[in-house]
Structure 1
């Protein structure tokens, strides 16, 4: 079939049109406009014919953002289970309410601006807004490559309108708050909080820790697995740097031995009903602690101890802040925490640097003054 031309806004444009028969033998015309050159139209027509013959043809003008993104996410092969679940949550809660109903080919720059504003008005963290924005932006880039779009509205967005990557939220308890917390804490799983504050381990690392990962003789923990949502155990740490060894203080070793004694008794009491996963932190029957209700569990702990509310993850920040404030080198803190580089550690805890510099100056002052 030939390529046809038409005039729009005083300029010549092109479209293709070809006839097909459906499974019932009924004729229909496949047609698409909007091409700037004959070559574009001809190439698009060729693809449309192939897709029709394969039985996969979908009229591009009728594809909504929701339908397209579900198909795009579903076909991505480089996503972990957790990333896929996170992305699906973003689609359902933030993307589809704003953009899902719109035809993919008719999304305007103003629609994207409204989408960004809607996320910001929800009070989402800057980093979260940025991640969701990039998810949609990448989907539209893929639509260009698949020739479902001629123009990407994200390319027309004013750079000043794009969400900026904010610094991660960092809160932590002071030394006095930590001491108060432990003086009030009375819980079967107290070891969880000991590990978070004294080692800087991540939540999933703590909940996935096994007694076989602990070298009691040399006072070391090896991060070999983590607990993921739906009680799924993942080998290794969060990333390559997360699989590491962590030195333990005498206090932490003693607390781990107490936990081992308690678990041994529970295992004996439960007998054949015990699920032996070798976990340090688990239910009395040996089952892993669920991540689904973890936030509510943590809030109950805070309320019961009458402590200032911070996130459980902030106990990791508490470890870092106490170590750095005590003069421990940032490289050591980085290695214990499993950050990808020392730059990550310094950027995250830059608010502590002025006081550290002041302490360093005072130390030098003391050394030189005493030398007189």
Structure 2
């Protein structure tokens, strides 16, 4: 078998090479480097031979970037369904139209800089531009590891050419705005907003909450599953730190009990058409509330409160943090309630909401020393 060894970084690597004849009878060499084991190289060589004989072989030197990146993303295993769908959209709408028709080995710094400029001219949010840039950068890093390209153009980019995402904006309602919103309507799913404001739970955590995870006697909610992308129920929270217990005040316990009465009534009325998932937030047939229907419901509620500032639903989570911090709650407690991975995340997000902490600390030090 035509497997050859070479040294890279002081370690043995392997490549395959074999000769074939093209349609015109010309001899050419099929070659690929970058394998860390002979077995891997042999398997790839056998696959390349079969592809050549079937007429499906793609020469890396002529492979378009669009072909490469679609295949690379399809074979990527370490991403969620939601991320995959988002990345597919970026490929279709932005990446392939800009650089997809350029041969992989000929994509250069100018092409990357031009793509970034076009994305910015489209009016995309800085965070979105950065995510698209990172996706392309990762694909080229993988191509370099597999030795499909000689040089990675991203290694040649000047710092000034790299897009930067702005710090995530944090908006929130005041106490008066919360009171106006919650006091302005009654609805079978009002509990959804009560949970968001009083607990800071994420959307998926609220939509995936089960009655068995609500401890009425001790005033506790346990986060043990979420409603994920495309209505899938997923065990655990978004992050490891998200798997937590949250204390709820008596007013939330009372609202949950009131909501449970409504759910029991709907279950009785639906009879055999009811799909019992034990969900706190669900349709009248017991099925999960989809992300799209949930978003439409949130927008409708905002439209019916024209005097209120328009914020995102996720900003109700920030509202919870703001109200807790303004009441003097220690940031560590806020971190645990919201399920942040570390207190650094909490402080980075909400330090501007704690202007009195430093002043209070200095005053306390003064009292101790005088």
TM-score bucket (shorter structure): 0.7 to 0.9
Distance 2:96 2:357 in 1: 47
- Distance across 1 between alignment mates of 2:210 and 2:278: 5
Cα distance in 2, alignment partners of residues 65 and 294 from structure 1: 38
2:219 aligned with 1:223: no
8 A Cα contact 1:260 1:280, kept in partner: yes
CA contact (8 A) 1:143 1:149 kept: yes
Map of 1:4 onto structure 2: none
Matches within 5 A, 1:106-145: 106-145=106-145
1:170·1:348 contact (CA, 8 Å) conserved in 2? yes
- Where does residue 345 of structure 2 map in the other structure? 344
Residue of structure 1 in register with 2:251 after alignment = 251
8 A Cα contact 1:213 1:224, kept in partner: yes
Q: Indicate the residue corresponding to 1:302 in structure 2.
A: 302
| Range moving further from structure 2, 196-205 or 138-147 | 138-147
**Displacement of 1:60 after TM fit?**
1.6
Report 1:229-240 matches (<5 A).
Answer: 229-240=229-240
Residue 77 (structure 1) aligns with? 77
The C-alpha deviation readout for 1:234-259, integer Å capped at 9, x for no partner, is 00000111110000011111111011
The structural deviation recorded for 1:19 is: 4.6
Where in structure 2 are the equivalents of 1:1-372 lying within 5 Å? 19-21=19-21, 27-30=25-28, 52-55=48-51, 57-306=57-306, 307-358=308-359, 364=364
User: Displacement, 1:31?
Assistant: 5.6
Aligned residue-pair number? 341
Q: Deviations over 1:58-111 (max 9, x none)?
A: 112322222111111111222222222222122223222222222211212111
SS in 2 for 1:167: coil
d(CA) in 1 for partners of 2:98, 2:51: 31
- Once the two structures are TM-superposed, the CA of residue 28 in structure 1 deviates from its matched residue by 4.0
Task: Report how far residue 29 of structure 1 moved.
Answer: 3.3
Cα distance in 2 between the residues matched to 1:217 and 1:70: 53
What is the deviation of 1:145? Answer: 1.6
Structure 1 pair 359/266, CA: closer, same or farther in 2 (3 Å)? farther
Unaligned runs of at least 5 residues, structure 2 = 1-16, 34-41
Stretch deviating more after TM superposition (249-258 or 113-122):
113-122
Q: Report the Cα offset of residue 326 of structure 1.
A: 1.2
Q: TM-score, normalised by structure 1?
A: 0.84
Instruction: Quote the offset at 1:147 in angstroms.
Output: 1.8
1:183 Cα deviation after fit: 1.4
Contact persistence 1:223–1:244 (CA under 8 A) = yes
Counterpart CA distance in 2 for 1:26 and 1:313 is 62
On the 8 A contact 1:19/1:28 being kept in 2, the answer is: no
Q: Give the superposition deviation at 1:361.
A: 5.8
TM-score by length of 2: 0.84
| C-alpha contact (below 8 Å) 1:167/1:348 kept by paired residues | no
Q: Cα gap change, 1:105/1:269 in structure 2, threshold over 3 Å: closer, same or farther?
A: same
CA distance in 2, matches of 1:231, 1:258: 26
Deviates more, 1:334-343 or 1:347-356: 347-356
Give SS of 2:134's match. helix
The runs of 5 or more residues in structure 1 that have no matched partner are 1-16, 36-45
What is the root-mean-square deviation of aligned Cα atoms in Å?
Answer: 2.9
Q: Any conservation in 2 of the 1:231–1:291 contact (CA below 8 Å)?
A: yes
- Matched residues in 2 for 1:286 and 1:60: separation? 52
Structure 1 distance, partners of 2:337, 2:19, is 66
* Partner Cα separation in structure 2 for residue 291 and residue 335 of structure 1: 26
CA distance in 1, matches of 2:121, 2:328: 40
**Residue 291 and residue 166 in structure 1: after superposition, are their counterparts in 2 closer, same or farther (change >3 A)?**
same
Structure 1 range deviating more: 196-205 or 51-60: 51-60
